[in-house]
Amino acid sequence: MRDITCKLLVIGAGPGGYVCAIRAGQLGVDTVVVEASKPGGTCLNIGCIPSKALIHAADEFARVAQCASGESPLGISLAAPRLDLARMMQWKDSVVGRLSGGVSVLLKRANVKIVQGWARFLDGKTVEVETEIGVQVIRAEQVVIATGSKPVGLPALPFDGPVISSTEALSLKAVPRSLVVVGAGYIGLELGTAFAKMDAAVTVIEALPRILPQYDAELTRPVDERLHELGVSVLTGARARELTRTKEGLVVEQSDGSLVTIEAEKILVAVGRKPATEGWDLEAIDLDMAGPFIAVDERCRTSMRGVYAIGDVTGEPMLAHRASAQGEMVAEIVAGKRRAWERACIPAICFTDPEIVVAGLTPENAKALNIEIVHDAFPFRANGRAMTLASDTGFIRMVARADNHLLLGIQGVGTGISELSAAFSLAIEMGARLEDVAGTVFAHPTLGEGMLEAALKTLGRPIHI
């Protein structure tokens, strides 16, 4: 096969890689992107998108089931619903297929050449790609590594048989009678909650003292309460030890040291993700590392000139939108523009029930940085729109500097609050003060009014509470 030469080579077509390639193509940069699987990467194909589709479908089923049980507060009743998981998965796959196909169209529209296969570095400007029709050599002036991440396994519970990762959980053909989730982070709780709503008996095991340890306890408390309402058994301070001999159960060491066996048709191991740095022959270019991650500067440059890295391979937060923003920045740098990473915040969302949003600094973060702050929260139980949705659990919290009221962070927990994350981030990124939010007219009745009320409450002049 004839060698390919280009100005920019992007390895990985996930949310970081494909955005980088599209933006570079728009700027007239001769760009090639290599992807071993489908365009869109983990997030689109086996992560963010399919999991949110499954969560939505599970929510719909749970609402109908509530109506069938006669417990709907809205006075709606109907016959018992039936769940066809295979059809649900078919719908989920159709959403993924449409989006993945759309990425391919966008890449081609930007004049980006797509090479499907597995890339291996020969040097800092050359890779070999194992394609279906042979080995393709690509030479580039500059390279972007956007290979993403993969699930972390446990030595005692290797992925096989009943032990599954989030990838297999999103492709199950039937709802398991019993599901044990090892790890109470956002991946484990999002999927565990979804399957609990589909009538699986779910047990969550977390080694640390509480669920969602990356979020503060005030934000996670409503999620914990909802898990108990759904009948999810949560064991904190507990560790998964081994499968039973029949592989139909899991031996767990509880916080007091005692052992208990839990029935488990399926065991979802969701203890985190690690950067996908193996199998690419990265040792051929000997990049500086930051622990397991590729070390980069404020322009995503690695220790080798002309080689960039973006997304999950560069460290926390391992979020798709961070990767996309990095990818766009690098594309513009390659095109000759002056850019650097100067983001005030990167929002994080946990799609549990209820949802959690964290943008900027929490009160604990600010205090750790010795910043004098003011902070307060407005509860959704005093929000008209939340009450009309029969879902008034949660709150919105503002964190601001004490001296000038500059917003440092906005957090919240509540049904549908993920859609407010853009407003939270925009306010922080634009350098808004509490007075700016308080002086904005918010539409009524909306959940967004909680943002206004939180600002007013933090200023000491609340209206509706």
**Could you tell me the residue range of the domain that residue 358 belongs to?**
348-458
The answer to whether residues 142 and 288 belong to one domain is yes
pLDDT at position 245 is 84
pLDDT at position 448 is 97
Question: What is the C-alpha to C-alpha distance for residues 247 and 24, in angstroms, rounded to an integer?
Answer: 50
Give the tens place of pLDDT for each residue, 118-159: 999 999 999 999 999 999 999 999 999 999 999 999 999 999
Quick check: is 54 in a domain?
no
The answer to whether residues 173 and 142 belong to one domain is no
pLDDT at position 246 is 84
Active site residue ranges: 444
Q: Which long-range contacts (CB under 8 A, 24 or more apart) does 217-222 make?
A: 218/377, 218/397, 219/356, 219/358, 219/411, 219/412, 219/413, 220/356, 220/413, 222/354, 222/393, 222/394, 222/413, 222/414
pLDDT at position 102 is 97
pLDDT at position 1 is 79
pLDDT at position 93 is 96
Residues of the chain with pLDDT under 70: none
pLDDT at position 366 is 97
The answer to whether residues 228 and 323 belong to one domain is no
Give the tens place of pLDDT for each residue, 381-402: 999 999 999 999 999 999 999 9
Question: What is the C-alpha to C-alpha distance for residues 352 and 393, in angstroms, rounded to an integer?
Answer: 13
The answer to whether residues 9 and 142 belong to one domain is yes
pLDDT at position 248 is 84
Quick check: is 387 in a domain?
yes
Question: What is the C-alpha to C-alpha distance for residues 182 and 276, in angstroms, rounded to an integer?
Answer: 22
pLDDT at position 440 is 97
pLDDT at position 338 is 96
The answer to whether residues 220 and 299 belong to one domain is no
